[in-house]
Amino acid sequence: MTEELHCIGCGAVIQTEDKEAVGYTPLSSLTKETVICQRCFRLKNYNEIQPVSLTDDDFLRILNGLGEQEGLIVKIVDIFDFNGSWLPGLHRFVGKNPVLLVANKADLLPKSVKPNKVINWIKREAKSLGLQPIDVLLVSAHRGFGISDVVEAIEQHRKGKNVYVVGCTNVGKSTFINRIIKQATGEGNVITTSHFPGTTLDMIEIPLDDGAALYDTPGIINHHQMAHHIDSSELKYITPKKEIKPKVYQQNAGQTLFIGALARFDFIRGERSAFTIHIANDLPIHRTKLEKADTLYEEHKGELLSPPTSKFIERLPELVRHEFSIKENKTDVVISGLGWITVQHANVVVAVHAPKGVEVFIRPSLI
């Protein structure tokens, strides 16, 4: 049996197969006497955190580990995939440690969205999911806004203790930490591996001024995320990249809107009404009659209705129907990871068909 090698930076077991997973090191680097994983290598040489992901077992191990540490937990969620990027059960594992909730990708929200409404919605949602964060902050790690407020909040709430940053893969955790490192160190001020000795948690340790540290935990794969059912080559059409431009559709009952082959929105009952669609700007919407929708989907998914294209359509789980009776004006019907449809008027019945496992829910409009 060959002996296990450990990264001298984070202590992870070295492996050469899975680039996305903890401990990845290119085969060519194994000849050296001391081995450093690619993630630590990039942090050491370029001051840059690289995203890595974990299996479910590792996830539980890390969560258990967090409860045994004392410090501030910074949990990152993607506002565009709030439910898909939530870490269920985190509140049970963190013990008495305070949790600061950071909602990322605020740059994608249309200008008409009111930040306070987003924050209030997140607070309500967090509470109903069993988490009482000490604060909720809205940021764009990509654009850099809100970051200095987060840094301030971290300083205020950590009370000299360590900081643990947790989040699902793809929420922008790496982009966020890279922002923080740049803010804290200034460019060119290189962090060396000696600052983050091996831990059993496979975390990367970034030293803070007072001897405490900020830890980057590996990203957790949440199997409900729409992104896992989509090939990476097609993900770019589905994930919004820029501020969303809402599209308004005037519909009569008995009409259906297809969002690529990913989801379907049926207007079942009610007066003629306006529906405002908030999804990635380039994602095609196809309008048809409700009575024809099933056949159209079967015959044209992957072609007229795409993405996913025919090459990847079989990977998409079957669509599941969710019906909603809308009682309030301005209600959002949210499809996690894809976007939402604002139903402008009350007293309508609608149904959304979305891939199995992807959450669909309603909330008061953010606008």
Contact between 225 and ligand GDP by CB under 6 A: the answer reads no
Least distance (Å) between residue 129 CB and ligand GDP? 19
Q: How far apart are CA 117 and CA 271, in angstroms?
A: 28
Chain residue whose CB lies nearest ligand GDP: 172
Q: How far apart are CA 321 and CA 318, in angstroms?
A: 10
Contact between 126 and ligand GDP by CB under 6 A: the answer reads no
Query: For ligand GDP, which is the closer residue by CB, 104 or 256?
Result: 104
Query: For ligand GDP, which is the closer residue by CB, 35 or 54?
Result: 54
Q: How far apart are CA 40 and CA 43, in angstroms?
A: 5
Structure tokens at 288: 């048809």
Least distance (Å) between residue 168 CB and ligand GDP? 7
Spell out the SS3 assignment of 309-359.
CCCCHHHCCCEEEEEEEECCCCEEEEECCCEEEEECCCCEEEEEEEECCCC
Contact between 108 and ligand GDP by CB under 6 A: the answer reads yes
Angle at 362 between CA 357 and CA 365, to 5 degrees: 135
Contact between 105 and ligand GDP by CB under 6 A: the answer reads yes
Check: CB of residue 277 under 8 Å from CB of residue 246. Answer: yes
Structure tokens at 157: 């709430």
Q: Which region among 122-130, 163-171, 307-315, 330-338 touches ligand GDP (by CB under 6 A)? A: 163-171
Q: Which of 25, 47, 83, 104 is in the footprint of ligand GDP by CB under 6 A?
A: 104
Which H helix or E strand runs over 120? Answer: helix 115-128
Q: Which of 6, 42, 117, 142 is in the footprint of ligand GDP by CB under 6 A?
A: 142
Q: Which region among 61-69, 167-175, 192-200, 322-330 touches ligand GDP (by CB under 6 A)? A: 167-175
Binding residues vs ligand GDP (CB under 6 A):
51, 104-105, 107-108, 140-142, 167, 169-175, 219
